[in-house]
Chains A and B, each alone.
Chain A
Amino acid sequence: MRWGLPALAALLLFYPFIFTGPFYWDIGVAFLLAAISASAWNIVGGYAGQVSVGHSMFFGVGAYTPLLFYHLWGLPPVAGVPAGMLVSLGLAVAIGMPTFRLRGHYFSMATIAVAELIRIFVGTWELVGAAIGLQGPAVGRAWWDLTFRSELPYYYIFLAALAVVLYTTFAVERSRFGYYLRAIKAGERAARSLGVPVRETKLKALMLSAVFTSLAGSLYSIKTGFIDPESGFGILVSVQMVIVAALGGAGALFGPLIGALILVPLQTATNTWFGGGGSGLTYILYGGIIVVLARFEPGGMHEWWQQRAAPFLTRRKHAA
Chain B
Amino acid sequence: MLLSAQNVSKAFGSFLAVRGADLAVAEGEIIGLIGPNGAGKSTFFNCLAGDTVPTTGRVLFDGVDLTRSSAETHARAGIGRTFQVPATFEDMTVLDNVMVGAFLRHRHRADARETALRIIEMTGLARQSAQRARSLGTPGRKRLEIARVLATGPRLMLLDEALAGLTPTELQQAIALVRRIHELGVTLVIVEHIMEVIMTLAQRVLVFNQGHVIAHGKPREIVANEAVIEAYLGRGHRRRREAP
> Which A residues lie at the B interface, using CB under 8 A?
174-176, 179-180, 182-183, 186-187, 189-198, 299, 320
Q: How far is the CB of A207 from chain B (nearest CB, A)?
A: 19
A195 close to B104 (CB less than 8 A): yes
Q: How many residues of B contact A (CB 8 A)?
A: 34
The answer to whether B92 touches A186, judged by C-beta atoms less than 8 angstroms apart, is: yes
- Whether A191 and B135, one on each chain, are in contact in the complex, defined by CB atoms closer than 8 angstroms, is no
- Is A194's CB under 8 angstroms from B152's CB? yes
Which residues of chain A come closer than 8 Å to B109, judged between CB atoms? 174-176
Rounded to whole angstroms, the CA-CA distance of A179 and B106 in the bound complex is 12
Fill in one digit per residue for B141-177: 1 if any A CB lies within 8 Å of its CB, else 0: 0000000110010000000000000000000000000
- Asked if B100 and A194 sit within 8 Å, CB to CB, the answer is yes
B94 smallest CB distance to A (angstroms):
11
Cβ A195 vs Cβ B72 within 8 A? yes
- Segment at the interface with A among B7-15, B60-68, B83-91, B222-230: B83-91
* Interface members, chain B 70-106 (any A CB < 8 Å): 70-72, 74-76, 80-81, 83, 87-92, 96, 99-101, 103-104, 106
Q: Are B72 and A180 in contact (CB under 8 A)?
A: no
Contact A193 B96 (CB under 8 A): no
- List the A side residues contacting B76 at CB < 8 Å: 195
B135 and A189 contact, CB distance less than 8 A: no
Query: Are the CB atoms of A176 and B107 closer together than 8 Å?
Result: yes
Nearest Cβ in chain B — how far from A307, in angstroms?
Answer: 10
Mask of B110-147 contacts with A, CB within 8 angstroms, 1/0: 00100000000000000000110001000000000000
Query: Chain B residue with minimal CB distance to A182?
Result: B92
Q: Are B103 and A179 in contact (CB under 8 A)?
A: yes
Answer whether residue B51 sits at the interface, using C-beta atoms and an 8 A cutoff.
yes
Question: What are 20 of the A-B contact pairs (CB < 8 Å)?
Answer: A176-B109, A176-B112, A179-B100, A179-B112, A180-B100, A183-B100, A186-B89, A187-B90, A189-B87, A191-B100, A192-B51, A192-B70, A193-B74, A193-B75, A193-B83, A194-B104, A194-B149, A195-B75, A195-B104, A320-B135
Q: Are A179 and B96 in contact (CB under 8 A)?
A: yes
